[in-house]
């Protein structure tokens, strides 16, 4: 039983962002080529012609080669968002985090370290890992006859800080990539817009009058890339804000329990 009480939950490594981006790029190219570029979406079955009236897939295809790039970023944001949602749920643990914090505080006030460790075993997750480390140091400090009270308190505080520093990177993994997409997606969409407008003006300036096909293609390219760029940037901002908020809540819970452990030790040991 004691062995199980001291066992820490194994941390699972998140998915590599590089692999996700590569797979999303391959998927985006395939979708662009064989779904958006399907000949059935165009007049005369030729992707060089206008899209059929009201055919959205063909219209997206006319957005040009930048469309797969923006799609790659959008798919990356969505995939990493799902991955982070799963990872952060695991970090929170299996039960309600607020109730877990209250349970640990109650057990500490009753000097029931065994019950606190058992609660960590049931809760699991990053918070439980930090608490178990702190409780192990708590017990070690109680048995230590060399250090004085201040040194023991500092040792517990240091343990909490070190355990937290080990857990936070697993929660924050891949968030920098999502944060990068907030700006990069918009910029790539703007690039596609500029390229589309250049094509539109080039068709207007062409000799022999206005090239209606070239003009419409350029406008389509501009608008489609604008839409995808905005969608990518907005999705990334929402995802990043949501997950950083969740991580902050977990950090607050860890800080609260760490403070309680130190406070209880300071109160009960002279």
User: Is this structure's pTM higher than 0.85?
Assistant: no
The DSSP secondary-structure symbol of 40 reads G
pLDDT at 187: 93
The DSSP secondary-structure symbol of 64 reads -
118-107-99-263 Cα dihedral, nearest 10 degrees? -120
Among 92, 71, 87, 144, residue whose Cα is nearest residue 251: 92
- Going 3 to 4 to 6 to 8, the CA torsion angle's sign is positive
- Partnered with residue 42 across adjacent β-strands are 51
Averages of pLDDT over runs of 10 residues in the chain (270 residues) are 41 77 96 94 87 85 89 95 93 88 89 90 90 91 87 92 90 93 92 82 63 66 86 95 94 90 82
Most distant CA pair in the chain: distance in Å?
A: 96
Q: At what angle do helices 113-123 and 97-109 cross, to 10 degrees?
A: 170
pLDDT at 154: 92
């Amino acid at each position: 039983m004691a062995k199980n009480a001291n066992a820490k939950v194994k941390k699972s490594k998140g998915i590599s962002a590089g692999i996700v981006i590569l797979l999303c790029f391959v998927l985006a190219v395939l979708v662009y080529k064989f779904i958006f570029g399907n000949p059935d979406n165009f007049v005369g079955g030729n992707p060089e012609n206008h899209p059929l009236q009201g055919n959205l897939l063909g219209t997206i295809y006319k957005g040009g080669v930048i469309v797969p790039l923006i799609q790659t970023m959008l798919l990356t944001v969505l995939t990493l968002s799902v991955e982070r949602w799963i990872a952060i749920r695991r970090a929170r643990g299996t039960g309600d985090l607020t109730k877990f914090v209250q349970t640990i505080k109650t057990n500490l006030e009753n000097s029931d370290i065994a019950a606190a460790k058992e609660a960590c075993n049931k809760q699991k997750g990053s918070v439980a890992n930090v608490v178990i480390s702190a409780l192990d140091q708590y017990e070690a400090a109680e048995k230590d006859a060399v250090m004085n009270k201040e040194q023991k308190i500092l040792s517990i505080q240091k343990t909490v800080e070190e355990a937290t520093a080990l857990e936070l990177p697993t929660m924050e993994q891949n968030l920098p990539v999502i944060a990068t997409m907030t700006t990069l997606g918009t910029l790539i969409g703007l690039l596609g817009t500029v390229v589309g407008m250049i094509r539109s003006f080039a068709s207007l300036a062409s000799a022999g009058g206005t090239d209606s096909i070239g003009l419409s293609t350029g406008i389509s390219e501009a608008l489609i890339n604008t839409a995808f760029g905005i969608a990518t940037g907005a999705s990334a901002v929402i995802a990043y804000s949501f997950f950083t908020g969740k991580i902050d809540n977990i950090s607050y819970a860890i800080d609260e329990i760490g403070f309680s452990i130190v406070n209880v030790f300071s109160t009960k040991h002279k």
